[in-house]
Amino acid sequence: MKYALLIYADRARELYDTLDEDDQRAITAEYLAIRDLDGALGGAQLQPESTATTVRVQGGRTLTTDGPFAETKEALGGFYLFEADDLDAALEVAARIPAARMGGAVEVRPLVER
């Protein structure tokens, strides 16, 4: 099965910013290493929400607004896509994502497969 691991990392980010350079490098290395795990299909870190633009099309007209679609407490900070045998395997990868232990959270969602 394929899963998206959605990383909510605002608070983890705050903690990250307080770390010294060596520790920051170690965390970044962890994120990169997860991309090399078996089953990894891809992923990306997103720029902060302040860079977001939201698009809607209503009656054929494109409406463009500044900012993210939903004002949530925690913003989506990045994601991985994984192929995993089952939910347990996906949850194990999710638990390795540094944000999960740094005050953030990782939401695991199965992908629709056609």
Q: Which residues bind another protein (CB under 8 A)?
A: 1, 3, 84-88, 90-91, 108, 110
Q: Looking at beta carbons only, is 23 or 92 nearer to another protein?
A: 92
Q: Which spans in 36-97 are helix H?
A: 87-96
Q: Looking at beta carbons only, is 48 or 110 nearer to another protein?
A: 110
Burial class (CB in 10 A: 0-12, 13-18, 19+), 114: exposed
Nearest Cα residue to 3 out of 60, 37, 41, 48: 41
CB of 105 to another protein, least distance (A): 14
CB of 51 to another protein, least distance (A): 31
